[in-house]
Amino acid sequence: MEILMNQSLLLVLLSSAALPLLAVIALLLRRNLFEGKLKIAFLFIGLGLLVFTVFATFNEHAEDLGWTDLLVAAITALITLFILSRFNHGHAHDKELEGAKGIVVSEAFHSLIDGAVIGATYLVSPLLGYAATLGIIIHELPKIIGTLTVFRGLGLSIRKSIVYGMAAQIGSPISAILVYMLGKQIDHEQLHALEIASIASLGAIVLWIIWLEIGFHRRHPDSHEGHSH
């Protein structure tokens, strides 16, 4: 029984660790893709994927959204924008890097949900755990690719993009192991509130980065290097 428990725990860990390990996709985003106009294009492709993720998440929960959820989302987004604008006093480039760190934090909280689902499904059966893991990977892949592309577009090295990308998904293995070891069912209301708050924060950060990019290129219309500022 103990051996079976250890094997199941290992499967939960491997499954939930798949999300952080997807950060190696950054290896495909080679340096020569992020020069001149292409750098700007890829940055906005990444931001577009994140916008799609935010929209898709809210659309997915449209029937369950109430005024309380909308209020939580609005307050979270406003707090996020306040923190970004109030505590960043450097050049635009420094502010954009702070925005990248903000993406890591908001996605790390969001990944807690994915891990909790994986851990809970493994409590039912390994087969259900496999299916849930595959479904979550497919569901989260556009967001992860978008995140990594934004990191590279903001000037982060491939190594730092991988580190940031793994940190953005670190909540998955943590919550998966905790849920599985505690053997508890998911509190859907709490996870729903966390998902709404984290995705609203991510949306605010994406808008912040877009605003900085537009502002910079309006001030420097002849610049195509993206982040030499």
225 in a structural domain:
no
Per the model's pLDDT, the better-predicted residue between 61 and 123 turns out to be 123
88 in a structural domain:
yes
226 in a structural domain:
no
Distances (CA, A) of 166 to 92, 107, 162, 163, 196: 25, 10, 6, 5, 22
87 in a structural domain:
yes
Please enumerate in sequence order all residues whose Cβ is within 8 A of that of 178, keeping only pairs 6 or more positions apart, or say none: 119
The count of domains in the chain is 1
To the nearest 10°, report the CA torsion of 219, 224, 225, 228. Answer: -20
193 in a structural domain:
yes
Whole-number pLDDT of residue 226: 45
- pLDDT above 90 as % of the chain: 4
Instruction: Give the domain range for residue 25.
Output: 2-219
9 in a structural domain:
yes
Query: What DSSP state is assigned to residue 33?
Result: G
In angstroms, rounded to a whole number, what is the distance separating the alpha carbons of residues 113 and 196?
Answer: 11
Please enumerate in sequence order all residues whose Cβ is within 8 A of that of 214, keeping only pairs 6 or more positions apart, or say none: none
224 in a structural domain:
no
pLDDT digits over 109-148, tens only?
888 888 888 888 888 788 888 888 988 888 888 888 888 8
228 in a structural domain:
no
- Using an 8 Å Cβ cutoff, are 96 and 226 in contact? no
pLDDT digits over 19-55, tens only?
888 888 877 776 555 566 666 777 777 888 888 888 8
Q: What are phi and psi of 40, to 5 degrees?
A: -65, -40
Per the model's pLDDT, the better-predicted residue between 203 and 184 turns out to be 203
Tell me: pLDDT of 229 over 50.
no
Min mean pLDDT across 113-122, 132-141, 178-187, 214-223 is at 214-223
- Using an 8 Å Cβ cutoff, are 166 and 155 in contact? no
Whole-number pLDDT of residue 167: 92
Whole-number pLDDT of residue 224: 47
